[in-house]
Structure formats: structure tokens, C-alpha cells
Structure 1
Amino acid sequence: MTMQSCCITGFEWSGTPTGKVGKLGKLDTYIAGDNPDAAILIVHDALGWTFPNGRLLADHFAKEANATVYFPDFFFGEVIEPSIIIEGKLDTFDFKGFLERQGRDVREPEIFAAAKELRQKYKKVGAVGYCYGGWAVFRLGAKEHSPPLVDCISTGHPSLLTTKDIDEVAVPVQVLSPEFDPIYTPELKAHTLATLPTLGIEFDYHYYPGVEHGAFVRGDDRKPGERKAMANAKNSVVSWFNLFLH
């Protein structure tokens, strides 16, 4: 399934990120936390590594899951202008060109390389991806990697995901699924629920009624229902990483 306008709509949250900017390999990276034994790799959504919401989530994961969290720039400097989100200028965004520059085949090698670098430095490594990052964490957890690149994965409203990605995951996987999602479709949800129990891995599937694609990283925290879903989703990811990284 490809990406649509819902992949770049949403709200900026209040709060100021408290991490630092450094490097993961050759990638500019937002880094939060300082645990020498456990790391979390966040694969960002279409809004990239500078979007404040992603950095705020990194801060939460670092503190609450006791890990060093890496949020790299996998788009190599391409940033979607905030006005596209805040002012709803979706007609100014070229999805076709974006996917040609930042598609799966283009960025998978860098994403694999980032996980491999973390695997060399840390005893335990987890990965979480939202929207665009959803396909990537499934690929990081694929059975083709021996030893595994990561110890567990989590994804919220994944984009560009295929049934093959689901079939081949080989590490514990958590899925955060909104009710309304034209990208993570009912068919893909059904395939997920039918397939994961057959793979011999632990899995955790959460369904959030009343919220839309993008809610877990770009939801409106002024709406009580969305705020609750965002908080619950964040807490679920924290619990998942605490289970497998410590």
C-alpha cells in the first residue's frame, strides 16, 4: 500500500525536546538518553527527523524505557515544510517525487546500516516506526537477518507495508492500529492477525477505535479521545521495550 495525504497531516504537540543532535554513522541524528546497554531506533514518518513530535516521543522512550534513543535523518536532509501540515497545503506536496527519492529500495540500506551499528554497540536493540517507518521496522525484524538486527519491533499505523513483510517477521512485534486507516487497510490488519500467531513469535496488537492514521505521532492532543489514544499508544510502546530490552 502506498502513501496518501493522511501521511503528512496532523498537529504539532506542545513541549520542547531535551535531547541532543549527533551522528549515527553518517546520518544526522537526534539522540535522547544515555543507557550504555539498551538502544531504540526510531524510523520516522514522512515528516522526518526534525518534526518536534518525533523528538518528544524519543525523549519519552529514553526516560520511560531506560534506553538511548536514536532518531536519524533517513531522508538525507529533505524536510517537509511545516506549513504543509499546519496550513493544510497538501496540494503543494509531490508524493510521487517524494517516493522516488525516499522509497523503500532507496532507503533500506541506510536503515539496515543504522541498526547494524547499534547492534555492535548495545546489548539490546529495539526499533519503532510510524507511518513511513512501519515497513522499515518489519524489514529490520525479518528472518533473513542472522543474527537478528533487532530484538523487538513496534509500529504504529504502518505505510508501504506488504503481506510479505508480515509473513517474514521473526522477532517479537507490536502493532498499534487505528480504526480509520486507508493505508494500513482492513485487509492488511486481517492478514496481520491471521499470520502473526503462526510465526512462533510473541506479538502484541492494539486496536484504537475512533482515531485515524497518523494519530500516534501527529494526533491532536487538544481532543480528549485522541489525547487518550496517543498516551495509551506511547505507554504500550514503552511497556513493550521494557519487556524485551531489559
Structure 2
Amino acid sequence: MSFSSCCLKTFTWGGTPTGKETTLAGNNAYVAGDNKDAAVLFIHDLFGWKYSNIRLLADHYAREADVTVYVPDFFGGWVVDWKLLEEDRFEEINLADMAKQNSREIRGPEMVACAKALKGEHGFKRLGAIGFCYGGWAVCHLGSKERGEKLVDAVSMGHPSWLVKDDIANLTVPIQILAPEIDPAFPSELKAYTFETLLKLNLPFDYVHYPGIVHGGLVRGSEKVEKEREAMAAAKNSAVAWFKQQLH
């Protein structure tokens, strides 16, 4: 599997993240919020755990959904070169190697360890997970019957990448899908399969469609484009409402 240039659309939000850096199950992590009972594991997209938009979203979730949000580093310290992004020099980013170094087999166990740590040593009674792009397959991984134990109580994914049909078919927990209309990583056929399969599984789910929005737009859309700004705000509000419902 590989990342495509559609993952590389970016801009910088205003504001400064208000959380702090810590560690979780041996991974560096950003944390926001102070709820002792309910937490959300936020699995970042291609831009990694230090990306300002991700941290600002974590702050919003923590404050508005009354949860403690952890954003671990699941790229082993790799951080994208911002200059290459700003200058549209995408071809200089070795995406194939980056994907190889952060495969399901390598990072999946780290994600499971973080979820176990939050419910175990940290003592959270309720745990959600949210992921965008790269994080999409990952939250399904945490909510899969293949885990053999209940790691999370509910998940949310936005414009997921690397998603396969088994990720949906093996789900055992309520799921929210934040789905831009234009998304080669989550095409219409897979969207339809997701909807139909969740109905058959009889799982609670929330499917939100964003007309005219492209892959990445719910986190990295342009603040100069009104529809994208509206979609980002709406997706944030949907995630907040979802976790309020599922974790409290």
C-alpha cells in the first residue's frame, strides 16, 4: 500500500496547542484534557503526532467532549519535512519507504499496547479511538473481533486509508465514518460496502457525507475555502457529539 499526493494537502491553523507531551506504552505522545474516566486515543494521519492541526483537534475533543485525548507517535520518530510540503516538492518525500516502516504489522501492536495501557495502568473506564487517513484502518484494528478482547468502546474514522473489507466486517464496536465525497482512498464501492456491512452487523453507526470535500479536507483543508472550513468544523462537531454519546 502507498500514500498518494492527495494526502499531502495542508495548511496551518491559527492558535497554539495547549496540551503537553508525555509517553504512553513507550511511545512519545501529546495529551490534552484531564478527565479521569473517559479517554480518546487519537491516531494521526501522514503528518504525524506533532502536526499542529492534529493537536488542535485533540484540544477541541478534550475540551468539548470532556475526555482526555492521547496522540501517540506511531511513526517511530519520523516527521515529514515541512519545507517539502510548503514548496510542493512531494516527489522528494520517500512515501514508499515511510509506508514500509509503518506497516500494520509494525505499528498495529504499538496501537494495541497504547489502548491496553489507557484502560489498564491509566484506569480509564471508557475509551474511544479516532483516526484520519492512516489512522482510519488503525481504529478498525482496535475495534476488531480479532483482538479477542474489548480494547475500545467506540471508534471514529475520517477519510480512511489502507482500509480493506475485513476491517469493516470484523468490527464489534459502534463506529462513526466521516466521509468526504471525493476520496480515492475510500472510493464509492468501499463506502457502499461499509454501509451495507454495518447494517448486517447491526452495529450502531453514524455515517456523515461531505459533498464536494476531498480526501484530507477534514483535517487539512484550506482555511481560504469556505466549504472546506465549514466541513472541518462540522466534522469536529460530529466527532465531539459521537464521543459525548458513546463515552459518557
List aligned pairs for 1:189-200, cutoff 5 A: 189-200=191-202
1:200 Cα deviation from its structure 2 partner: 2.0
1:36-66 CA deviation, whole Å, 9 max, x = no partner?
Answer: 0000000000110010000000000000010
Distance 1:155 1:206, change over 3 A: same
How far apart are 1:2 and its partner, in Å? 4.0
Q: 1:222 aligns with which of 221, 224, 236?
A: 224
Structure 1 residue corresponding to 2:177, chosen from 175, 191, 211: 175
Alignment gaps of 5+ in structure 1: none
The CA deviation string for residues 183-219 of structure 1, in whole angstroms up to 9 with x for no partner, is 1111111111111111121000000001100011111
- Separation in 1 of the partners of 2:30 and 2:64? 17
**Alpha-carbon distance in structure 2 between the residues aligned to 1:84 and 1:130:** 21
Distance 1:70 1:8 in 2: 23
* Contact in 1 for aligned 2:3/2:96 (Cα 8 Å): no
State the identity %: 49
CA contact (8 A) 1:131 1:157 kept: yes
Distance 1:8 1:27 in 2: 24
Q: Any conservation in 1 of the 2:2–2:95 contact (CA below 8 Å)?
A: no
TM score, norm. by length of structure 2 = 0.97
What amino acid is aligned across from residue 92 of structure 1 in structure 2? E
8 Å Cα contact 1:28/1:73 also seen in 2: yes
Tell me if the contact between 1:9 and 1:88 (Cα under 8 Å) persists in the aligned partners.
no
Q: How does 1:3-152 map to 2 (within 5 A)?
A: 3-120=3-120, 121-152=123-154
Give the unaligned 5+ runs of structure 2.
none
> Structure 1: which amino acid aligns with 2:164?
T
Residue 234 of structure 2 aligns with which residue? 232
TM-score in terms of structure 1 length: 0.97
Show structure 1 runs of 4+ deviating over 3 A.
Answer: none
Does the CA-based 8 Å contact 1:11-1:85 persist in structure 2?
Answer: no
Cα-Cα RMSD? 1.0
Q: Deviation at 1:14?
A: 1.3
Count of residue correspondences: 246
**Secondary structure at the counterpart of residue 139 of structure 1:** helix
SS at match of 2:40: strand
Report the equivalent of 1:242: 244
Q: Aligned partners of 2:171, 2:85: CA distance in 1, in Å? A: 33
- How far apart are 1:6 and its partner, in Å? 1.2
